[in-house]
Each structure stands twice: as structure tokens, then as C-alpha cells.
């Protein structure tokens, strides 16, 4: 996984739940493109048309609250979102995103407007708003999540390691 | 070192010598659960991991419940995959007509014991705290890891101790207790926490009420919601399982992140307004709001207790002509019991739809989808935008008492105004 990249920000608010990321009615399929076609439509019906591959989703507190549906981070990833930066994430969504290889960063004090150019450095845990010339440090992630993301997701991590390395947790 | 109940359960499931909140530890699962939505995604991930078999088929349960019975070809394909995979791997499988909603089935069929760790591909796996177990929801890839290894990693949660005192007033139920908690701590107030419910008011609650409470712990962002096992737990498990278990409690000097006190003597029926389960108000402040559909069911509140409450309100009354009512027993067992107790007759005579057990419209899947401009009151656990259908429909969350009262009057109504002040 590329550890440093830039993207255009799409900024939304607090408590964006998994139903608004991908509605329950769409979870009846294993076709990921079908999920991506409907991502965030109950939050912003124009999101899909505004999204360019590599864009960054920026949100407030408790992003991804609600359902454990992994279809939510999958839909974002397949639609072309390169990372989600939020003040903080609901816990199940946070793990799910890392597990499927969608970078997520918790930045409590990030200020950004839609359209701002954002640079993300996963290794350093730094988010820069290139438009506003500001820089932020992401909250530290547990080592196991860093390792999983490093491998591109939990499938690759477990394929390589065979198990959770207790000493590395 | 003193420990909370959740810490003690986790300690029993890890080789870590000791643990404290914030520690990341590998945890062994006693039981792994998935359904027709989370299961097929997990199966694919497990195959990609290179795991050919599950860690222990006897510790794996699959339940077809979300789009069950299949609403269309795609959902039928998911269930076919679930069915074939379950047979191939020899795991426990509840097909349509055999089980019902996963969290009802696992509790009622004796799979859950106090002190267990259960991971489920469904956020409401926290419901198992009703029996003193640590149940937590995970996504499909984490579940794939659990299926392959019988293990996952967990950040040890802190504990919010909810001390419940007093006796419930008429028309107050477990639903109101958890809505009160959500109203106070909000939808992220339980992040990285477990909610533990103690005190005389909690000890007096039936398992059905405890299920309603524990079920919505995740609505506060909590990892789980737990009631220490007690005599009521013992009585509930008698006849459901003969496997041994022991009751754990938090040490008196354990450290709690926060304490909340709830006095049942002053708790009244509550309603969560759209679009958040944390948007909680007393029923009086929203009485009179028009309701197009009443939905009584789901993994939180489709128990026999809920159906009895609904029947008490609907007996010899009719569903209001401007309103529709859908009643969904949460399991085949509850469905059968409701039949034997004459409850289904009450619902049918009142003009309600009685559905087979299913997750149905709770998550906007099928069997009761809302049109734009409509409002529903539901005993479910989420009222997010678009949750039960149109993104321009409103969902109010409340107990079966309150939902059934709305069915009679066609608007949000204090059940005491329908049944009488003195209670049922």
C-alpha cells in the first residue's frame, strides 16, 4: 500500500452511520461495484458524481457508527475513496476499514473544507491540508492495526503470519 | 489486581497474564456467529486466507435471518451460499423455519452461557450480555479470522457501571432503560467501553428486558453491554442447557471509567426521535405525532414479553385506520408460544400483519418498507436516515407498550391513555 498520497477532500459532519454509507437494502449482493454505485447516497445524493478516484473523505466524530456491515468500508474503497480522516471512528467500522485495506486516520483537530487538497502520510501518521497550509498528527493506532494495514488488510496479514502475533500486539 | 466483569471474562480467554483497559490482547472465541449478509463475505475472506476448515464446527453457528425468506434472486443466492457452506463445514445452521433472528435463537436455544466470549458478524452480538456473556460485533473479515483460528484481537474496554435502583412503573420496560442511557451518554458515549448493569433495579429485570437493554449497548458505541449472571439467569438457562458455567462479578474495588445512576421510580416511557438512537425524549413531549406504521419485532424487542405487552394493548381494540401494524416474533419458538397463548389471534383480530421471524424491515431489507413522508414507530434499535426504507421517512424507537398504543390511536400515545393509568 502506498504510504503517502494526496487527494481532494469531501467534508461531512458527525455521526455518519453505516446505513448512510451503504443502506441495508443494498447488502444483498457480493458485487462490490453495485455497493460502490450507492455509497453515501442517503447522505449526499451527488457524492458519486463529485467523487474522483483518490479523493479523501473527511468527517467529524463517530464516523461509521451503527452496523458491523463490512460492505460500508468496501463500498467507499471500491468507489475510489483513498482514505477517511475523521475526528474519531466508531470501533467496528475502524477495524473493518483497516481489515479491508482502507486507510483511516483519527485526527481530532483537523480543519478542512470540501475541495481542499489533503496529503496523507500513513507511515508518519501526518495529515496536511495543502490548501490551508496546516499540518496535523493522527492519533496513534494500535500496532496490530498498523501491521494489518501495512499488509493491505487482514486477509494478507493472516495469510502471511498464520495467526495474531501476541508479542507484536 | 481488581477487575471488572468484562476484564475477568477476557482474562479467561487469553494467555495474557493480566490486562487493563487499552491493552491489545488475542482473545479465544467460544462461539462464532454469522448470517446471510455477513457470512458469505466472511467465507470468501476465509478462503483467501487459505483456511480450508473452521477451528471447531461445534462452535460455529450460522443463521439465515436478514433477507429471510429470500426477497429476490440475489438474496436467495446469499442464502444458498450460507446453506451450502454450513453443510460443507458441518457447523450449526438455522435455516428459514428452523430458527429466527440470530440473537434470539442463540439465547433461546441454549448456545449462550455466562462468561462466554461470542464474536458475531452482526453489531447486535452485544445482546448476549443479557446472560452475562461478552458478545461483540465484528465485520466479515474479522469473522473470517475467528472462523479459521477461533481467535481475534481485542482492545480491552473500560467499563461504565450503570447502577439501576427502584421498581419499574407501569408501561416501563428494558427499552426505556437503555434509551435513558443513550439519552444521557449519547451515541458515542460508550466508545471503547462496556456497559455493565447492576443494582436492585437491574437484578429484578427479566432476561427479555435484559436482552432489550444489552442489545442497544452498541448504539452508545460500546463493545458490549453486560448483566452479571444471577438467579434469574440460572432459572432462564434451566432446561435450555446442561453445560456448566460459573457466575462472575466485578470486584468491589474494580476501577470504573464512569458511573451512571438510573432510578426506575422516576423513569417514564421514552422515545428516540429520528435520526439518532441518542435523540431521546419523554413520550409526553412527542404525543400526537402521526404514525403510518407500527413495527414490533427485531433482535431487541421481538420477545414473548414484547408480544404480550402488545397483545395487552391490542386486545379487543383495532389498529387505527390511518395506521398499519406489523408484528414479527423474533424466533420460531416465540412465534409458537405466541400462538399457544392466543396472542396471534389478538393481533390478527386487531388488523395487524403477523410476519414470520426475520430481520425484515428493521434494517430496510423487506416486509414493511417505508415510503417518503411516512413515519414509523418501531421497537427496533436504529432510526438512522433511510434505515427502514425511504431517506425521507422517519423512524421513532420505543417499547412494545408505546408502539402498540400508537397502533390503536394512529399517533404517538402514552400507553396509559389507551389501557388506563393503573396499568395492565
pLDDT per residue as tens digits for the range B159-180: 999 999 999 999 999 999 999 9
Residues B217-235 have a mean pLDDT of 98
Instruction: Show residues of chain A in contact with B141, CB under 8 Å.
Output: 70, 96, 99-100, 153-155
Q: Which three cell numbers stand for residue A9?
A: 477532500
Question: What is the least distance, in Å, from the CA of B105 to any CA of chain A?
Answer: 19
Separation between Cα atoms, residue B288 and residue A88, nearest integer Å: 37
CATH number of the domain located at residue range(s) B273-414 in this protein: 3.30.499.10
Residue A169 reports pLDDT greater than 80: no
Nearest 5°: the CA angle B401, B403, B404 is: 65
Dihedral angle sign, alpha carbons of residues B54, B57, B59, B62: positive
| Cβ under 8 Å to B: A residues 54-83 | 61-62, 65-71, 73
List, in sequence order, every residue forming a beta bridge with B399; answer none if it has no partner: none
Q: A166–B15: do the CB atoms touch at under 8 Å?
A: yes
As a whole number, the mean pLDDT across chain B is: 97
Separation between Cα atoms, residue A17 and residue B361, nearest integer Å: 17
DSSP conformation class of B224? E
Least confident piece of the model among B130-139, B141-150, B414-423: B414-423
Within 10 angstroms of residue B63's Cβ, the number of other Cβ atoms is 31
Higher pLDDT, B32 or A162: B32
List, in sequence order, every residue forming a beta bridge with A6; answer none if it has no partner: A119
Q: B40–A96: do the CB atoms touch at under 8 Å?
A: no
The domain segmentation of chain B, as residue ranges, is 5-263, 273-414
Instruction: Show residues of chain B in contact with A46, CB under 8 Å.
Output: none
Q: What is the Cα B404 distance to its own chain's centre?
A: 19
Separation between Cα atoms, residue B142 and residue B45, nearest integer Å: 9
The domain segmentation of chain A, as residue ranges, is 4-168
* Predicted structure pTM score: 0.97
Residue A133 reports pLDDT greater than 80: yes
Instruction: Show residues of chain A in contact with B382, CB under 8 Å.
Output: 17, 19, 66-67
Is residue B421 very low, low, confident or very high in pLDDT (cuts 50, 70, 90)? Answer: confident
Helices A154-161 and B140-149: crossing angle, nearest 10°? 20
Burial B173-210 (b: 16+ CB within 10 A, else e): bbbbbbbbbbbebbbbbbbbbbbbbbbebbeebbbbbb
Instruction: Show residues of chain B in contact with A94, CB under 8 Å.
Output: none
Class of the A4-168 domain? alpha beta
| Count of positions (residues) in chain B | 424
- Per-residue pLDDT of B295-310, as tens digits, reads 999 999 999 999 999 9
Task: Give burial (CB, 10 Å; 0-12/13-18/19+) of B27.
Answer: buried
Q: A70–B41: do the CB atoms touch at under 8 Å?
A: yes
Class of the B5-263 domain? alpha beta
Question: What is the least distance, in Å, from the CA of B307 to any CA of chain A?
Answer: 25
Amino acid at each position: 500500500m502506498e504510504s503517502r498520497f494526496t487527494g481532494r477532500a469531501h467534508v461531512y459532519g458527525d455521526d455518519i452511520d453505516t446505513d448512510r454509507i451503504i443502506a441495508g437494502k443494498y447488502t444483498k449482493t457480493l458485487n462490490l461495484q453495485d455497493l460502490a454505485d450507492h455509497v453515501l447516497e442517503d447522505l449526499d445524493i451527488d457524492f458519486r458524481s463529485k467523487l474522483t478516484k483518490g479523493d479523501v473523505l473527511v468527517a467529524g466524530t463517530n464516523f461509521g457508527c451503527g452496523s458491523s456491515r463490512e460492505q460500508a468500508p468496501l463500498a467507499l474503497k471500491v468507489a475510489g475513496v483513498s482514505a477517511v480522516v475523521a475526528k474519531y471512528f466508531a470501533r467496528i467500522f475502524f477495524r473493518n476499514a483497516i481489515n479491508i485495506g482502507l486507510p483511516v486516520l483519527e485526527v481530532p483537530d483537523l480543519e478542512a473544507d470540501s475541495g481542499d487538497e489533503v496529503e496523507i502520510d500513513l507511515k508518519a501518521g501526518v495529515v496536511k491540508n495543502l490548501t490551508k497550509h496546516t499540518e496535523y498528527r493522527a492519533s496513534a493506532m494500535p500496532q496490530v492495526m498498523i501491521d494489518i494495514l501495512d499488509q493491505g488488510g487482514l486477509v494478507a496479514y493472516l495469510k502471511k503470519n498464520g495467526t495474531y502475533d501476541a508479542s507484536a500486539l | 489486581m481488581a477487575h471488572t466483569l468484562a476484564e475477568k471474562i477476557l482474562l479467561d480467554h487469553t494467555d495474557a497474564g493480566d490486562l487493563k483497559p487499552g491493552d491489545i490482547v488475542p482473545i479465544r472465541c467460544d462461539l462464532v456467529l454469522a448470517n446471510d449478509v455477513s457470512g458469505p463475505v466472511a467465507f470468501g475472506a476465509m478462503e483467501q486466507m487459505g483456511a480450508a476448515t473452521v477451528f471447531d464446527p461445534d462452535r460455529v453457528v450460522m443463521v439465515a435471518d436478514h433477507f429471510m425468506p429470500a426477497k429476490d434472486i440475489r438474496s436467495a443466492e446469499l442464502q444458498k451460499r450460507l446453506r451450502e457452506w454450513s453443510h460443507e463445514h458441518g457447523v450449526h445452521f438455522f435455516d428459514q423455519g428452523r430458527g429466527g433472528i440470530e440473537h434470539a435463537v442463540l439465547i433461546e436455544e441454549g448456545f449462550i452461557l455466562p462468561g462466554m466470549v461470542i464474536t458475531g458478524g452482526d453489531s447486535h452480538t452485544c445482546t448476549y450480555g443479557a446472560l452475562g456473556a461478552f458478545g461483540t460485533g465484528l465485520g466479515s473479515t474479522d469473522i473470517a479470522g475467528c472462523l479459521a483460528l477461533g481467535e481475534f484481537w481485542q482492545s480491552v474496554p473500560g467499563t461504565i457501571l450503570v447502577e439501576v435502583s427502584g421498581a419499574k412503573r407501569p408501561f416501563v420496560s428494558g427499552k426505556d432503560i437503555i434509551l435513558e442511557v443513550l439519552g444521557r451518554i449519547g451515541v458515542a458515549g460508550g466508545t471503547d467501553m462496556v456497559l455493565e448493569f447492576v443494582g436492585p433495579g437491574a437484578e429484578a429485570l427479566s432476561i427479555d428486558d435484559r436482552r432489550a437493554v444489552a442489545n442497544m449497548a452498541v448504539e452508545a458505541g460500546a463493545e458490549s453491554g453486560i448483566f452479571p449472571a444471577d438467579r434469574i439467569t440460572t432459572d432462564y438457562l434451566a432446561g435450555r442447557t446442561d453445560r456448566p458455567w460459573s457466575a462472575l462479578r466485578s470486584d468491589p474495588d474494580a476501577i470504573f471509567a464512569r458511573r451512571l445512576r438510573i432510578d426506575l421510580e422516576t423513569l417514564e416511557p421514552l422515545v428516540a426521535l429520528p435520526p439518532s438512537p441518542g435523540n431521546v425524549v419523554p413520550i409526553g413531549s412527542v404525543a400526537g405525532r402521526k404514525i403510518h406504521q407500527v413495527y414490533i419485532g427485531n433482535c431487541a424487542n421481538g420477545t414473548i414479553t414484547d408480544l404480550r405487552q402488545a397483545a395487552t394493548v391490542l386486545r379487543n381494540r383495532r389498529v387505527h385506520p390511518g395506521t398499519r401494524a406489523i408484528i414479527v416474533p423474533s424466533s420460531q419458538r416465540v412465534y409458537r408460544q405466541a400462538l399457544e397463548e392466543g396472542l396471534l389471534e389478538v393481533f390478527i383480530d386487531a388488523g395487524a400483519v403477523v410476519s414470520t421471524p426475520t430481520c425484515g424491515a428493521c434494517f430496510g431489507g423487506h416486509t414493511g418498507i417505508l415510503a417518503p413522508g411516512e413515519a414509523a414507530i418501531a421497537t427496533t434499535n436504529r432510526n438512522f436516515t433511510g434505515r427502514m426504507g425511504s431517506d425521507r421517512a422517519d423512524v421513532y424507537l420505543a417499547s412494545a407498550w408505546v408502539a402498540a398504543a400508537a397502533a390503536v390511536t394512529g399517533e404517538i400515545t402514552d400507553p396509559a391513555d389507551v389501557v388506563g393509568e393503573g396499568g395492565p
